[in-house]
Amino acid sequence: MCGSNVFSRVLWLFLCCAIASCSPLTADRQANITSMLEQQADRVMALGEWEERWQQNKIGFHQPEVHKMLKKNIDKVLNGRTGVRFFFPLCGKAVDMKWLADMGHSVVGVEISEKAIRQFFEENNMTYTEEPVPAIPGAKVYKNSEKNISLYQCNLYNFSNSIEGQFGAIWDRGSLVAVNPGDREKYAALIISLMANDCRYLLDTLLYNPDLYQGPPFFVPDEQVHSLFGSSCGIELLQSEDALTDKQRNWGLDKFLENVHLITPKSN
């Protein structure tokens, strides 16, 4: 077991150094990344498990303050634009949505938990309505009285650009790292289909040693971001921070990096 832990740390340090130096993807490095991805490849979280977490208030992933990386990079996302339509995949009750709406933007989110959506509006003292979504059987959409925040309660993969069109911005703070690893290609295809030509997609990913923690949140290396989005989008790493706290130490981790990427459609 001790030897395994030492080997895992060596893999982790190698990956971090390779990413930091932006070195070419060598065969050895690809093998190491593939090995690390395989640790979580078969991990599956059913929708019911996420709903149960909300019902039991096991929502350590929720942040009560606007995410600092969104604040720091908002100008790059807006790019001089006003009245931008933002999409929030797996939005939960993120306070970031109200922050953006208060700035004059509009927000559309998708979330499986009805409790999360209702808590968002109630905790922000917003009156809201709910109505069925004919195009998605069983789904509901909740809208505040100002009509600048619309939250859909449904399976994310049942949502499409035929429901709300395309978006000028996407904030993905805990979505790609939460979807089942086996669904990432399907997820990326959905996100790309929701991107308008001028869309600026801010993606938050996490780097850690998946041999030590099974997730979620899941390990998403930069190389996989490029494989998922690089064929149709430009990708820029905006920020990389040491995000290790006692919570991650309790998961058994001693390294935990948070990366933020700006993803934009390539011009035709």
Q: Tell me, letter by letter, the H, E, C secondary structure of 125-165.
A: CCCEEEEECCCCCCCEEEEECCCCEEEEECCHHHCCHHHHC
Mean pLDDT of 206-219: 96
pLDDT at 188 over 50: yes
For the full predicted model, state whether its pTM sits above 0.85. Answer: yes
Residues composing the chain: 268
pLDDT above 70: percentage of residues in the chain: 90
pLDDT at 19 over 80: no
Contact partners, residue 82, CB within 8 Å, separation at least 6: 104
- Enter the DSSP assignment of 65: S
- Enter the DSSP assignment of 63: -
pLDDT of residue 10: 38
- Please give the Cα distance from 266 to 268 (Å, whole number): 6
- Please give the Cα distance from 139 to 111 (Å, whole number): 10
Helix, strand, coil abundance in the chain, percent, nearest 5: 40, 25, 40
233: β partners: 265
92: β partners: none
Confidence of residue 25 (pLDDT cuts 50, 70, 90): low
Amino acid making up residue 124:
N
pLDDT of residue 268: 56
Which of 30-34, 109-113, 160-164 is predicted least confidently? Answer: 30-34
pLDDT at 22 over 80: no
Secondary structure tally for the chain: helices H, strands E = 10, 9
pLDDT at 245 over 50: yes
- Please give the Cα distance from 182 to 25 (Å, whole number): 22
pLDDT of residue 1: 42
Amino acid making up residue 93:
K
pLDDT of residue 13: 43
pLDDT mean across residues, the chain? 91
Neighbours of 196 (CB within 10 A): 17
pLDDT of residue 24: 55
Each as own residue / partner, the long-range contacts of residues 181-189 (CB below 8 Å, 24 or more positions apart, any chain) are 181/37, 181/40, 181/41, 181/42, 181/43, 181/218, 182/41, 182/42, 182/44, 183/157, 184/220, 184/224, 184/228, 185/228, 186/157, 187/156, 187/157, 188/228, 188/229
Mean pLDDT of 151-179: 98
pLDDT at 108 over 90: yes
Whole-angstrom distance between the N-terminal and C-terminal Cα of the chain? 52
pLDDT at 27 over 50: yes
Which token pair is 249? 């130490």
Burial class (CB in 10 A: 0-12, 13-18, 19+), 115: middle
Mean pLDDT of 201-213: 97
Which of 3-12, 167-176, 199-208, 220-229 is predicted least confidently? Answer: 3-12
Mean pLDDT of 69-74: 97
144: β partners: 128
- Please give the Cα distance from 98 to 115 (Å, whole number): 17
Mean pLDDT of 93-110: 98
- Enter the DSSP assignment of 96: H
Confidence of residue 62 (pLDDT cuts 50, 70, 90): confident
